[in-house]
């Protein structure tokens, strides 16, 4: 199955969800609307001609330059990029799906941006989403048990945000 | 006859309900492979729920990766899976090379195979020995470490370190092998080969070991795939997948020309299984015993690969080639690559903004996915089976917490 043909089928199955494609890079990827990610993944995992039956990794990339001097030079607007790496066991091919999120919900700092959870598609997504929530600050709607996984439960902030600052003190331990 | 079975005190009654109890295993339980805490919800001997709590070894490697160059990150990959540091170095190095479209010399390629496979043997030896410890037998651990020590000696001679090597690096390796190393390596393999029989006698066919592992923690094929399990855990469930054969071109090209068979059960048979003890009658595909057995087969498979790599490396002419500069710029873009580490498929993801420092460095840990499935496997088992199941996943906490 060739790439463009496959994308046509995806477009037919989930109309309007795919907003972009970049196929001439090291790892080709498609971009989908953030609020349709669960629908797209559901189709990819259950109905697509190539069954992407395994979720390998979820990554959130924070596009934000805290230094104002450097920020004036960059070509992008601040945003969060969600990257889903999928794998098809029967066909032995991978697929990269990306989605764009605002850094904060409604641009209110501290309000986490939301994206539908894909736990209903792959049960293994549970821990991956908890990790992204913990470290990058993304709220997965519909996740059965969204809480911190690597940091302590009472930790403040999301360390993999570019503008994150280590707390001065944590339970009497000096932070920085 | 029925009354005789009813009176048997060894039979645990699964239908009796008593008070539920929360039992805490860890964070320092000796048989949990690192600082892992398991909270068990039990009713008598029967476990109804297992909840792993992780993060005790979190050292924010991904955040550090955003502040140093790609080559400076190599020592941090060492400290993820510290039992197979060479394989972790290789995974990161290949991911950067994939992004840079860099190709190492033929000599470096064969040396990488040699080193990575040797480390796979060492890692599986720890996996096997520690699994014996989990199940209450101490001696296999000593025998496994005796042999692992010799591999560490070889590594020490090659790169100076015994655990955190940073030997394989972006663009090649930090140094060539010292003279006489290949002969020592061959001598080790010759000495090691007959010893594998002893391991099989100690564990694989040991009646107590089989009782503790066969038909325990059975994982179906679909469950393993849905949770993103990989490595021996996935192959133990009968899924024929090995990144060395099925992975991306840059990784499979490294193993091009090497003959090896993926250690997975096909049509009821493992490759070359007439050379090994028969599968016990109680064992079911996907149980702890099969996960263990796949690892043991991979030790032999890796030995074959090391021998092939020695021949190929020795016949290579010319220099090894120098690694890339410490601050060599990466092109803008992103690259994701999964390699077959001893514990499973280790994925690295780099997002680059055109400088030598990654914008985002991500490590997808195989043990993380493998441990995530533990609560499914432990549901309804006995407390004594929990270490057997978690041990059979062969996890390393350094890699899970990063």
Q: What is the DSSP letter of A156?
A: -
Give the pLDDT score at A2: 57
Task: Give me the sign of the Cα torsion angle B153, B156, B161, B167.
Answer: negative
Q: Output the pTM of the full model.
A: 0.88
CA-to-CA distance for B197 and B192, rounded, in angstroms?
A: 10
Residue of chain B minimizing CA distance to A85: B336
Structure tokens at B305: 């690969």
pLDDT(A135) > 60: yes
Give the pLDDT score at B11: 65
B225 CA to centre of own chain: 17
CB-based contact A151 B55, cutoff 8 Å: yes
* In chain A, % of residues over pLDDT 70: 98
How would you write the pLDDT of chain B (402 residues) with one tens digit per residue?
A: 445 556 666 666 666 667 788 888 877 755 557 788 888 888 878 888 899 998 888 888 999 999 999 999 999 999 888 889 999 999 999 999 999 988 888 889 999 999 999 999 999 999 888 888 888 888 888 998 899 999 999 999 998 888 889 899 998 888 888 999 999 999 999 999 998 888 888 888 888 889 889 888 899 999 999 998 999 999 999 899 999 988 888 899 899 889 888 888 887 788 877 778 878 888 888 899 999 999 999 999 999 999 999 999 988 887 888 888 888 889 998 999 999 999 999 999 999 988 999 999 999 999 999 999 998 898 888 888 888 898 898 888 888 888
Q: Which residues of B58-74 are buried (b: 16+ CB within 10 A; e: fewer)?
A: bebbbbebbebbbbbbb
Residue keyed to tokens 């068979």: B261
Which 3-state string (H, E, C) describes A73-125?
CCCCCCEEEEEEEEEECCCCEEEEEEEEECCCHHHCCCCCCEEECCCCCCCCH
Give the pLDDT score at B6: 61
Who contacts B77 (Cβ-Cβ below 8 Å, separation ≥6)? B61, B85, B88, B89, B91, B92, B348, B363
Angle at A57 between CA A56 and CA A63, to 5 degrees: 155
B369 phi and psi, to 5 degrees? -70, -40
Residue of chain A minimizing CA distance to B95: A26
CA-to-CA distance for A81 and B67, rounded, in angstroms?
A: 19
Q: What is the DSSP letter of B313?
A: H
Instruction: Tell me if residue B306 falls in helix, strand or coil.
Output: helix
Angle at B12 between CA B10 and CA B18, to 5 degrees: 140
B336 CB near a chain A CB, below 8 Å? Answer: yes
B351 CB near a chain A CB, below 8 Å? Answer: yes
Size of interface A-B (CB pairs under 8 A): 86
Pairing of strands A18-22, A79-88: unpaired
A123 CB near a chain B CB, below 8 Å? Answer: yes
Altogether, the residues listed in chain A come to a count of: 176
B368 CB near a chain A CB, below 8 Å? Answer: yes
CB-based contact A149 B55, cutoff 8 Å: yes
Min Cα distance A161 → chain B (Å) is 9
B166 phi and psi, to 5 degrees? 50, 35
A22 CB near a chain B CB, below 8 Å? Answer: no
pLDDT(A108) > 90: no
Q: How many CA atoms lie less than 13 Å away from B262 in the CB half-sphere?
A: 19
| Domains in chain A: boundaries | 3-66+75-174
Based on the number of CB atoms within 10 Å of its own CB, is B165 exposed (0-12), middle (13-18) or buried (19 or more)? buried
CA-to-CA distance for A86 and A88, rounded, in angstroms?
A: 7
Give the pLDDT score at A134: 92
- Assess contact for B193 and B150: CB atoms under 8 A: no
The CATH number of A3-66+75-174 is 3.30.460.80
CB-based contact A56 B338, cutoff 8 Å: yes
Residue of chain A minimizing CA distance to B100: A26
Min Cα distance B228 → chain A (Å) is 5
Give the pLDDT score at B284: 87
Q: End-to-end CA distance of chain B, in Å?
A: 56
- Assess contact for A103 and A62: CB atoms under 8 A: yes
Q: pLDDT confidence of A28, banded at 50, 70, 90? A: confident
Pairing of strands A173-174, B20-25: unpaired
Residue B211: CB atoms within 10 A of its CB come to 14
- Assess contact for B121 and B83: CB atoms under 8 A: no
Min Cα distance B4 → chain A (Å) is 43
All residues of chain B having their beta carbon less than 8 Å from the beta carbon of residue A124 are 226-229, 369, 372-373
Structure tokens at B278: 């028969």
Residue B141: CB atoms within 10 A of its CB come to 18
> In terms of C-beta distances under 8 Å and separation of at least 24 residues, what long-range contacts does B314-320 make, across chains too?
B314/B182, B316/B106, B316/B107, B316/B110, B317/B107, B318/B105, B318/B107, B319/B105, B319/B107, B320/B105, B320/B107, B320/B108, B320/B111, B320/B172, B320/B173, B320/B176
A48 CB near a chain B CB, below 8 Å? Answer: no
Instruction: Tell me if residue B335 falls in helix, strand or coil.
Output: strand
> What is the interface pTM, i.e. ipTM, of the complex?
0.89
Task: Give me the sign of the Cα torsion angle B124, B126, B128, B134.
Answer: negative
All residues of chain B having their beta carbon less than 8 Å from the beta carbon of residue A92 are 241, 246
Pick from A27, A89, A159: which is nearest to B239 by CB? A89
Q: Which residues of A1-13 are buried (b: 16+ CB within 10 A; e: fewer)?
A: eeeeebeeebeee
CA-to-CA distance for B259 and A74, rounded, in angstroms?
A: 49
Min Cα distance A40 → chain B (Å) is 17
CB-based contact A85 B336, cutoff 8 Å: yes
H or E element at residue B61: helix B61-65
CA nearest to B104, candidates B53, B171, B199: B171
CA-to-CA distance for A38 and B289, rounded, in angstroms?
A: 36
Residue B190: CB atoms within 10 A of its CB come to 10
A50 CB near a chain B CB, below 8 Å? Answer: no
Q: Which of A56, A64, A119 should be substituted to probe chain B, the one whose Cβ sees the most B Cβ atoms within 10 Å? A: A56
Structure tokens at B194: 């007959």
Pick from B54, B227, B351: which is nearest to A149 by CB? B54
CA-to-CA distance for B288 and B217, rounded, in angstroms?
A: 6
CB-based contact B349 A54, cutoff 8 Å: no
Min Cα distance B85 → chain A (Å) is 21
CA-to-CA distance for B302 and B211, rounded, in angstroms?
A: 28
CB-based contact A151 B373, cutoff 8 Å: no
Give the pLDDT score at B1: 43
Mean pLDDT across A24-40? 87
H or E element at residue B172: strand B172-173
The distance between the two most distant Cα atoms of chain A, rounded to a whole number of Å, is 59
């Amino acid at each position: 199955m060739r790439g463009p043909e496959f994308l046509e089928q995806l477009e037919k199955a989930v109309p309007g969800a795919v907003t972009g494609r970049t196929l001439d890079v090291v790892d080709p990827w498609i971009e989908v609307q953030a609020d349709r990610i669960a629908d797209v993944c559901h189709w990819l995992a259950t109905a697509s001609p190539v069954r992407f039956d395994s979720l390998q990794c979820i990554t959130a990339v924070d596009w934000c330059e805290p230094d104002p001097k450097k920020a004036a030079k960059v070509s992008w607007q601040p945003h969060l990029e969600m990257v889903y790496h999928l794998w098809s066991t029967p066909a032995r091919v991978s697929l990269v799906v990306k989605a764009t999120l605002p850094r904060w919900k409604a641009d209110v700092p501290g309000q986490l941006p939301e994206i539908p959870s894909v736990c209903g598609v792959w049960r293994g997504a549970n821990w991956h989403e908890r990790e992204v929530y913990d470290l990058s600050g993304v709220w997965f709607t519909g996740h059965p048990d969204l809480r911190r996984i690597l940091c302590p439960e009472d930790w403040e902030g999301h360390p993999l945000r570019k503008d994150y600052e280590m707390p001065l003190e944590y339970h009497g331990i000096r932070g920085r | 006859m029925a009354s005789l079975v009813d009176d048997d005190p060894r039979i645990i009654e699964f239908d009796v309900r008593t008070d539920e109890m929360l039992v805490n295993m860890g964070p320092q339980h000796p048989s949990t492979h690192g600082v892992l805490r398991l909270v068990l919800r039990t009713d008598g001997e029967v476990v109804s729920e297992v909840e792993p709590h992780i993060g005790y070894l979190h050292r924010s490697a991904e955040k550090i990766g955003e502040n140093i160059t790609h080559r400076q990150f190599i020592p941090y990959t060492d400290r993820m899976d510290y039992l197979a540091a060479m394989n972790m170095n290789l995974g990161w190095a290949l991911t950067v090379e994939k992004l840079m479209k860099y190709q190492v010399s033929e000599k470096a390629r064969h040396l990488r195979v040699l080193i990575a496979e040797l480390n796979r043997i060492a890692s599986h030896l720890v996996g096997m020995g520690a699994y014996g410890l989990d199940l209450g037998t101490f001696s296999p651990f000593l025998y496994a470490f005796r042999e692992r020590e010799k591999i560490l000696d070889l590594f020490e001679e090659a790169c100076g370190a015994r655990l955190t090597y940073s030997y394989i690096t972006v663009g090649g390796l930090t140094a060539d092998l010292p003279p006489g190393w290949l002969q020592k390596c061959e001598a080790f393999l010759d000495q090691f080969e007959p010893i594998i029989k002893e391991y099989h006698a100690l564990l694989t066919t040991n009646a107590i070991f089989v009782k503790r592992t066969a038909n325990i923690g059975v994982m179906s094929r679909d469950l393993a795939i849905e949770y993103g399990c990989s490595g021996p855990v996935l192959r133990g469930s009968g899924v024929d997948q090995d990144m060395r054969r099925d992975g991306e071109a840059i990784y499979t090209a490294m193993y091009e020309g090497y003959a090896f068979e993926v250690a997975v059960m096909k049509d009821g048979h493992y490759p070359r299984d007439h050379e090994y003890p028969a599968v016990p009658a109680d064992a079911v595909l996907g149980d702890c015993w099969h996960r263990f057995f796949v690892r043991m087969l991979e030790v032999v498979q890796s030995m074959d690969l090391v021998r092939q790599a020695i021949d190929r490396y020795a016949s290579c002419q010319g220099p090894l080639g120098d690694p890339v500069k410490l601050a060599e710029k990466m092109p803008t873009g992103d690259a994701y690559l999964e390699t077959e580490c001893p514990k499973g498929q280790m994925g690295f993801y780099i997002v680059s903004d055109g400088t030598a420092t990654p914008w985002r460095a991500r490590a997808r840990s195989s043990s993380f996915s493998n441990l995530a499935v533990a609560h499914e496997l432990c549901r309804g088992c006995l407390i004594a089976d929990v270490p057997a199941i978690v041990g059979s996943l062969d996890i390393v906490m350094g890699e899970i917490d990063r």
